[in-house]
Amino acid sequence: MGFMAMMVSWPAIAAAFIVAASLSSPAAMRASAAAGGGGGNNPTAGFAKVDLTGGDFQVQRPYDVPESRRFRYRDGVRTFWVYDSDKPFNTATHTNPRTEVRLRGHDYSSGVWQFEGYGYVPSGTSGVSVMQIHNEEGAEHATILMLHVYDGVLRFYDGPAIESNIYDRWFRLNVVHDVKASTVVVYIDGKQKFSTNVIPSESYYFKFGVYMQHRDWSNCMESQWTNVTVYTKSY
């Protein structure tokens, strides 16, 4: 499309963009979820909400830069970014660069637990984990679930595709972990997209943000999250 054509059609394009953005905003998605929308059942039905405080959201970022240079919390939205040349989050580890929240104070070892959040991954971000279920420190396997983004595709680790087009839109993510059954189920926008058995561990906790992986990473990796909630229920 030429420049003049873009100028002529801009009001219509802008109006369409505003409508689309309003329909895909976290607020609109929450309303749809509460009404049982999204094309599927509400995955939080039957669960009890866990009370979270601001202190439960522990930010981990490269140890040699101020938090404000890799993390922002504004108007209820947490924005995370990291560069492939960044340092680890402390001097005792050799892990890849990350800027993440570790949800602390709510580690669990039994029952059924659920992470819910409204996420946004901008185009260009690749080779990064945006959410994970971490095992207790020192476990043989560090995680039982990591959700990676590669070129716009959300994957279970480097394996099965969960959502083929994750870029530049708000999406509702629900991850349900049944400890006794050793299963995890992933929902996108209220629809079940993936389930698998996992290797059990002693205890677990949730993380989200950006954590660089070992292939196909971009120079800068970013994700945004709002309305992060934890739910649980007993057997």
What mean pLDDT comes out for the span 103-124?
98
The model's pLDDT over 181-215, given as tens digits with 9 standing for 90+, comes to 999 999 999 999 999 999 999 999 999 999 999 99
The CATH code of domain 48-233 reads 2.60.120.200
| Predicted local confidence at residue 8, as pLDDT | 42
Q: What percent of the chain has pLDDT over 70?
A: 84
Tell me how far apart the alpha carbons of residues 25 and 19 are, in angstroms, rounded to a whole number.
10
Q: What confidence category does residue 62 fall into, taking pLDDT thresholds of 50, 70 and 90? A: very high
Tell me how far apart the alpha carbons of residues 100 and 98 are, in angstroms, rounded to a whole number.
6
Tell me how far apart the alpha carbons of residues 58 and 69 are, in angstroms, rounded to a whole number.
16
Tell me how far apart the alpha carbons of residues 223 and 74 are, in angstroms, rounded to a whole number.
14
Which of 4-18, 57-71, 82-96, 140-154 comes out lowest in average pLDDT?
4-18
The domain locations on the chain are 48-233
What is the average pLDDT score of the chain?
89
Tell me: pLDDT of 30 over 90. Answer: no
Q: What is the pTM of this model?
A: 0.86
Tell me how far apart the alpha carbons of residues 173 and 230 are, in angstroms, rounded to a whole number.
12
